Each structure stands twice: as C-alpha cells, then as structure tokens.
Structure 1
Amino acid sequence: MSRGRPNVIVVFTDQQRWDTTGVQGNPLGLTPNFDRLARAGVHVSRATTPQPVCAPARAALQTGRYPTATGVYRNGIPLPGDARTLAHHFADAGYTTGYIGKWHLADREPVPAEQRGGYRHWLGSNGLEHTSDAYLTVMYDEAGDPVRLPGFRSDALFDAAVRFAADHHAEPFYLFLSLIEPHHQNELDCYPAPEGYAERYQGRWMPPDLAALSGQGGTPHQHMGGYLGQIKRVDEGLGRLLDALRSMDLLDDTIVAYTSDHGSHFKTRNSEYKRSCHDASLRVPLAVRGPGFHPGRVLDQPISTLDLPPTLLAAAGVEVPAEMQGRSFLPLVADPGADWQEEVYAQVSESECGRVVRTARWKYHVVAPDADGWDDAAATRYVETALYDLAHDPYELDNLAGLASHRAVAEDLRARLLRRAAEAGEPPATIERAPERVPHQRRVDAAVHGFDLTGVRFGHQPRAGRPPRA
C-alpha cells in the first residue's frame, strides 16, 4: 500500500570492510540479509568513504560535505551548530526524524540537544564504545537520562529501531541507526561477539591483503573471528528490521540504505585499524532498496558515501541543497550509462595529512610531509606516496609510485586529485613527484621455440635419462 512519501532508514555500521558481504564474494554466508537487500535494490560495488576516520566520515554522511568543508576533519571536533544535516532537510519536508546509536560528533556525554544535528527523537551516545560493551548497552534519551537496553548490543539497537518504526508508522519518518559493531571494544582491544559466534568463524577466512601482510605485524589472525561474528549478528538484526517493516506493511514504502563509515586493515598498514589510503580502510559496503531503486541494479562506477545524502533526499522527493558536495547517483540507477565522474576523492587525517583519488583501476595517494595529521586540515605541498594498479594488484601490495613506466598515469591522476581538492574547497596545492625508481623487470632468458635452453631451469627438472612424466 503506497503512503506517498517514502520512509527512509539508514543502517550504519562502524569499521566494516567491503569484502565481508556475500555479494562481494565473501564465502562464509555472513550477510544473507544484506545480500537480499542489495539484490532487491541497488548494490554499489565500489563504494568508498570520503574519510577513513570515524567523526569525519560521519560528518560527511550527515551533511553531504567533505570533512574539511564542515571543519570536522579529525576526531574530537564537534559538528558545527550551523551545519545543515539530513535531519534538517527531512524535517523541513515534513518528516519525523530519529537517531539511534553512536554519534561521535559532539564534545560531551550525554550529547546536548544543540549538538544532535537537528534530530528530533534521540537515543544515543557520543562514544557508544565508551558507554557500553557487548552485553551492557547504555545510551541517553532526549532528556539526557541514561537508558539501559537489554540484549547483545547490536540486537538492542535494532530493537530500538523497530520500536521507532512502530511508533511512527502512520507518518513519514527518517531514522538513522548507527551501530558500533564491528568496531573493536576500545579498552580491551578486542571484538566481542555473541557466545559461539567468534568460534564459528575463527580461522575460516582471511582477506588476501591481510593474509599477505600479517607476517609484518597486525592483529587479523587474533581478531578475525570476533570481527566476523559481530558482522553475522548485525546481519541477523538487519533481517529482523526488514521483517518488522514487512509485518507493518511498510517495507515497500521505505528506503533502506546500509553502509559503513570505513573499513579496517587490522594494524597491517600502520599502528591502528584505519586511517590509510588502502581499500581495506576506504572501501565499504553500500546498498539501497525501496522506491526509486530498481531491483537487481549493480553500479560498478566508483561512488563515495558522500553521494548518499543527496541520493536519499532526491529519492524521497526532497530538494537537494546546493551546498551539498556529494552528487545523487539516482541517474545511474535509471541509466547505468549516465554521465558520472571517473574517480572518487578522499581525505586522510590523524595518521597523516593525505589525499587520495581512486578510479575503477587506479589508486593515487599523496601525503603532506610538512603537515601534521592532527593539527592541519589541509596543506599546500604534497608528495606522491603510492600508486596502485587495482586491476592487476587489487590488494595493493605493489606500490608503483616513482616508476617511469607509470609516469603518464601518475600525471593524469595528479591532475584529477588537484581538481577534486579544489572542488572540495581546499587551498591551492602542489604535488611533488615521487623519487624516480628503476624497476627490476622480469626477463625471459630464452624463448621456448627454436632457442638453446641449456642451463635454464624452470621449477623441478626430471633426472637425466628419464623421460618427463605426461
């Protein structure tokens, strides 16, 4: 039954890698409900975050603006009081708005009303990882009073989301559900999953990049079971939410979007879990179902989660404000051949002052050597740091920066990065080339046909006098 304007629900996880979902090839069956959601709507197969740090990514998703544009370029900076969020835009269009879960855009706990981004109904914590653990979930209501929710933490938040939908089923509503899973529990540096879930997945699968890099350090073998167990339980909660919407006859009238703030490289790229240029940090799951999102559509173009806010507004028939720097991908839903930019742009802070452009094939990364990732939002001088050919090196293990053979590629990406930085409102900057390197090319000493192969050994050789086995 159509009710006119669609409801909108955003399910937002914390630190979830893109390759944990079945539609991206994960073999463990972790996400059957996300996979069904993706097949029932639009799956964005190359979704990336505009910032692989918690607060900046959240500010971007609330406002549709780059972290440097909102001023929230690192953790610890509250969202400005005059920032216009999705809550403001949906409320202006007559929607009831609600927020449940982790906020991380305020400067105190509980979050005061003026720092809640315009959300009317509130049940949240600024730092949910600090006010709760796996089976002790405490958040704060609109009055700032603590509320303890029963059950495993992600279950408790999905239960609250179901209650919100039931309470507001007769009016158009917009709900942002912000989970902490599969983020680590900070004070323990572990990934607490429900009983039996970590054991179910420990040792069964390892992303190839982590398998290749874990010998150099990191925690993937220690933490992967709990991490995957959390994702499995989150997906079960998603299924219960979708079932609840179906039982209230709301599912076909509700836009449901699912994504994450960033991924995790499990300390294999630096000393913590994200804050790097690699897809392990930047690439996230993203799928949207509901009115306006054609079933079975897969978008392979690079798309930023910065593009999700204008997409949701446009799909709900709400005017997209001019100040949003993201771009609605609804035209791609209608026509996959529609005009679209060939790259996404990302900013990296805290660990460095870095910038990234990613196309379907290439990743180009620069770092400001004279800037501090905590104190400096941007810089005027960067140096090429990484270039990856994602078609032939999808796990970013072979850095091509500085190779003369790839100079033309680097120059093209350099121009793209500078253009996108300017469009984001950053100050004019220069990018210095990486020091030139001479690659150790693989050589074939002799051809197979018609050349002397004396002394050339390829793997195991049969003993003299014995014919080779068939």
Structure 2
Amino acid sequence: MTQAKRNGKPNVIVFFTDQQRWDTTGAHGNPMGLTPNFDRMAARGTHLAHSFTCQPVCGPARSALQTGLYPTTTGCYRNNIPLPPDSRTLAHEFRDAGYRTGYIGKWHLAAEEPVSEPKRGGYEYWLAANSLEKSSDAYDTVVYNNDSRRIKLPGYRVDALTDAAIRYIDERKEDAFFLFISYLEPHHQNHLDDYPPPDGYRELFTGGWVPPDLASLSGTAHQHLGGYYGMVKRIDEALGRLLDALKSLKLDRNTIVLFTSDHGCHFKTRNKEYKRSAHESSIRIPTAVCGPGFEGGGQVRELVSLIDLPPTLLDAAGIDIPAIMQGRSVMPLLRGRKDPGWPDDVFVQFSEDHVGRAVRTQRWKYSVVDRTPDSGKQPGSLRYEDECLYDLQADPYELTNLVGLSSHREVVRIMRERLNRRLVAAGESAAEFVSASERPGGQRRVAAEELDL
C-alpha cells in the first residue's frame, strides 16, 4: 500500500471527452435524456456550470490540461507540436506524491505512433494511441501498451476503453492512483467525416432537439446530430459504468472523478470544420466533479477555464500547486462561497489555421484575429483586427455580431483593455487592435451601467 493511501489521499480519475458541447447535457437544458449520469454527478457533486476551454483544438487543449499552462507557454499552440520532454505534468505531480499513474486512450501530444516512454508525459501505466482517430475506428479499437505493442481491444471504442479503465482500477484498488481516461467520442471519425455511434443509436436521436445556433445556421448538424447524440449517450453510459465500478469496489467515497472535455462542436456553422472559433459552441464545455471535497459543492457560476482544473485536482488531493501553473484552484468557490480575487472573465487562444484571441465575461464576448497570410504558423501576434462582439445576455447563441456598431464602441474599448490584461497575464505581449469599419447602431443603445465590465 502506498504512502499516499496511508495518509488518506483520495484516488483521482479524469474522465475526458473530445469535442463535446456543453448543451448536450441535461444539466444545461438538453431535453434528449442523453446524460443522466453526468446530470446526477453535477447535482450531487460540484457543477462548474460556466466552464471553457483555453484553446479549442485537441492538442493544445490537452497540453493545458496536463500542465496547467496556456498552450503558448507549453509551446503546443497548434496540433502536431509534441509536448516538450521536460514538461511537468499532472502525472509527475501525482507520482511524486506517492500515486500510481495511468493513461488510457487518446494522447495527441507526441509526433509518433506508438508513443515511446519519454514522450508519455510521465505516466507509469500506458494503454493509449497518439492519434486514436487514426489508429482505430468505432468498432476497431487499437492502442499501444507500455512495451509499445499493438493491442486490439474488443467492443465499441467507448466500451473498450472503459473496460480497460475498470480493469486498471480493480488491479490497483489497494493503491492510491491517478488515472486519466481520454476518449475520442463524440469527436467525428476523421476519415469518414461522420459521427459513428453504437449500432442503433443514430436512429434513436435523429430528428431530435437542435440547439438554436445549429438550427439557425447552415452546417452539417441535420446530417450528423443523430450520430453525435448517440456517441454522447454511450459516453454517459460509460461514466455510469465507471461510477458503478467504484461503488462496487467501495472506492466511491475515496475517489475524485472529474468529467470535462477539450472543446465543443459547431458542426461547420462558423467555419469549414467543427471548432477553432470563439463561439460558445466551440469553447464552452461540460464540467462536473464528484468525490471527496466536491460532494454537495453546488453549482459554481463563476467562469472557469480548462487551465484551472489541474491546480484544482492537486489542491483537492492535498498536493502543493506548482507556482508555475497559470490556472487557479476552484476549491474556494465551492458551496456558493465567493473568492474576491477570482477573475470575472476567461481568456481563449486560437492558432493553427489562424491566430486569434478572445475574452468572455458573464455578458460580453470579444474576439480578434490576425488576418495576415500564414498567421496560423505563429503562436501569437502583436496586431489583431476586430472579429466579433456578442451580447450573451440578449443573444446567447451568438447570432448577431455587434462588432463595428457605433452604439457598442465603448464596450469594445473596455473589452480590449481586458484582453490586453489577459494577454500579458498569460505571458504574451500587449497587442495593437484595429477597429472594424464602423456602422450605425440603429435602435441599439448601451446604458452606462452596462459598461461596468
């Protein structure tokens, strides 16, 4: 038995999905009944109701969740940039505290397949693929073990990885462990450009509720939403199986489980693919935590970033938070408590096909973009152009871009100040902003009290 278990340290599991919109959950109003297990977890534990990625791309988001650093700090500011071998990850922090550590599923932080031991982020147990969407298919799950040997797991991919996770837990139930389970679902299967659910599940959900942004904008939602919902349903069933396994092994009261995702999905409504935009459909994610320290934590309504989750897990496990981490633990916010120092906005980076930045408050969202050729090859810019301004109170699904309106000139000015503060705090340089062409505000007016941003 490890020293961590003898000292009463809780086990920690990260249940990580890929490309899952926040509004797929009943806790966020989805009427399709897709997520009863997540909804129960959010109700009984702690629901981080306003949770956002800090980079809506697979690799960069994963680098942030592993390290607690912005992608521009890790250097993984776009896909296919490996995590530097000297990076300090959650695996290192938990191992140093006496935990067994394991990683199962999609990694996406290396430039090789299989991933060699020095490039596994410090995880002790390994059953994963760097590009799970390329190594496997919905009913053809292929991963690699500690010896870099190809392993084919039986069953639908969600179930195959969940079976492996339950085996890991059962075999280490006497030890304190940190387990990271990284699913591909409900991400599209790249070579098909489709969302393949378990057999029979697409038919169950085709023709169901369509979020207002997807209903209003042209894209692929009407073709793909049935399959996507079917994948979400199976993911939630896997969460239920995992929680059942913990209960049957009498580990439920001593195990923290974090459910979150890397980014959302806008079904080609905002650009030519599924993410990489500042819209809620791309950056807002479902997040809930249960277990020691989180039971009865209530709904946290402050804005929370993906980089706040690593320090939160360490804090909850009683492990010192490294000073280098750029996020903050949410523990002081639980049970309705207020943290006067908690930021009242979140910051999002974009880079790959383009470079952009965004800042979001409870009411307003402002995004900028560098439109120079090949800007996506750079981690950031010193000069951005106005891209979007949304009033999330009046327009929660972001159907009317207010940028450039004379009535909102002062809102843009204040949001630019916020964005520059965030750039500097993230280790970037303050930027110059180029205004969009001004147009009449019409009947729109912004009252003085609405400028108290």
After TM superposition, the score normalised by the length of structure 1 is 0.92
SS in 1 for 2:23: helix
Shift of 1:352: 1.5
SS in 2 for 1:302: strand
Match of 2:301 in 1: 300
User: Would the aligned equivalents of 2:298 and 2:335 in 1 still touch at CA under 8 Å?
Assistant: no
Shift of 1:304: 0.5
User: Would the aligned equivalents of 1:353 and 1:372 in 2 still touch at CA under 8 Å?
Assistant: no
Asked if residue 180 in structure 1 is aligned to residue 184 in structure 2, the reply is yes
Q: C-alpha deviations, 1:343-401, integer Å up to 9, x for none? A: 00000112320000011111010111226343110000011111000010000011111
Match of 2:257 in 1: 256
Question: CA 1:58 to 1:442, structure 2 compared with 1: closer, same or farther past 3 Å?
Answer: closer
Which has the larger displacement, 390-399 or 345-354?
A: 345-354
User: Would the aligned equivalents of 2:298 and 2:336 in 1 still touch at CA under 8 Å?
Assistant: no
SS in 2 for 1:231: helix
Residue 77 of structure 1, aligned match among 71, 78, 81: 81
Residue 208 of structure 2, aligned match among 197, 204, 223: 204
Match of 2:98 in 1: 94
Q: C-alpha deviations, 1:121-176, integer Å up to 9, x for none? A: 00000000001111110100000001111111000111111111111111110000
Match of 1:48 in 2: 52
SS in 1 for 2:179: strand
Q: C-alpha deviations, 1:397-453, integer Å up to 9, x for none? A: 11111112112211111111101111111123211222211133389xxxxxxxxxx
Superposed, 1:55-74 pairs within 5 Å as: 55-74=59-78
Residue 411 of structure 1, aligned match among 395, 410, 413: 413
Which has the larger displacement, 240-249 or 400-409?
A: 400-409
Shift of 1:2: 9.7
Shift of 1:3: 7.1
Match of 1:221 in 2: 222
Structure 2 CA distance for aligned equivalents of residues 70 and 342 of structure 1:
24
- Aligned partner letter, 2:378: D
Structure 2 CA distance for aligned equivalents of residues 348 and 220 of structure 1:
23
Q: Which has the larger radius of gyration?
A: 1
Match of 2:248 in 1: 247
Match of 1:289 in 2: 290
Structure 2 CA distance for aligned equivalents of residues 380 and 354 of structure 1:
11
Match of 2:318 in 1: 317
Which has the larger displacement, 335-344 or 106-115?
A: 335-344
- Aligned partner letter, 1:40: R
- Aligned partner letter, 1:235: D
Match of 2:234 in 1: 233
Q: C-alpha deviations, 1:59-82, integer Å up to 9, x for none? A: 000000000000000001000001
Question: CA 1:273 to 1:266, structure 2 compared with 1: closer, same or farther past 3 Å?
Answer: same
Structure 2 CA distance for aligned equivalents of residues 90 and 303 of structure 1:
23
User: Would the aligned equivalents of 2:347 and 2:359 in 1 still touch at CA under 8 Å?
Assistant: yes
Structure 2 CA distance for aligned equivalents of residues 36 and 140 of structure 1:
33
Residue 170 of structure 2, aligned match among 166, 169, 177: 166
SS in 2 for 1:366: strand
Match of 1:456 in 2: none
Residue 343 of structure 1, aligned match among 342, 345, 360: 345
- Aligned partner letter, 1:242: L
SS in 2 for 1:298: strand
Match of 2:161 in 1: 157
Structure 1 CA distance for aligned equivalents of residues 163 and 378 of structure 2:
40
Q: C-alpha deviations, 1:182-203, integer Å up to 9, x for none? A: 0111111111111110100001
What 5-or-longer segments of structure 1 have no aligned partner? 444-470
Structure 2 CA distance for aligned equivalents of residues 166 and 11 of structure 1:
17
Match of 2:424 in 1: 422
Shift of 1:296: 5.2
User: Would the aligned equivalents of 1:294 and 1:333 in 2 still touch at CA under 8 Å?
Assistant: no
Asked if residue 145 in structure 1 is aligned to residue 124 in structure 2, the reply is no
Structure 2 CA distance for aligned equivalents of residues 414 and 427 of structure 1:
13
Match of 1:387 in 2: 389
SS in 1 for 2:126: strand
User: Would the aligned equivalents of 1:378 and 1:427 in 2 still touch at CA under 8 Å?
Assistant: no
Which has the larger displacement, 170-179 or 409-418?
A: 409-418
Structure 1 CA distance for aligned equivalents of residues 375 and 124 of structure 2:
34
RMSD: 1.4
Q: C-alpha deviations, 1:80-134, integer Å up to 9, x for none? A: 0011000000001000000000000000000011110000000000000001111
Shift of 1:305: 1.1
Q: C-alpha deviations, 1:283-330, integer Å up to 9, x for none? A: 000001111114151011111011000000000000000110011111
Match of 2:449 in 1: none
Asked if residue 11 in structure 1 is aligned to residue 15 in structure 2, the reply is yes
Question: CA 1:169 to 1:373, structure 2 compared with 1: closer, same or farther past 3 Å?
Answer: farther
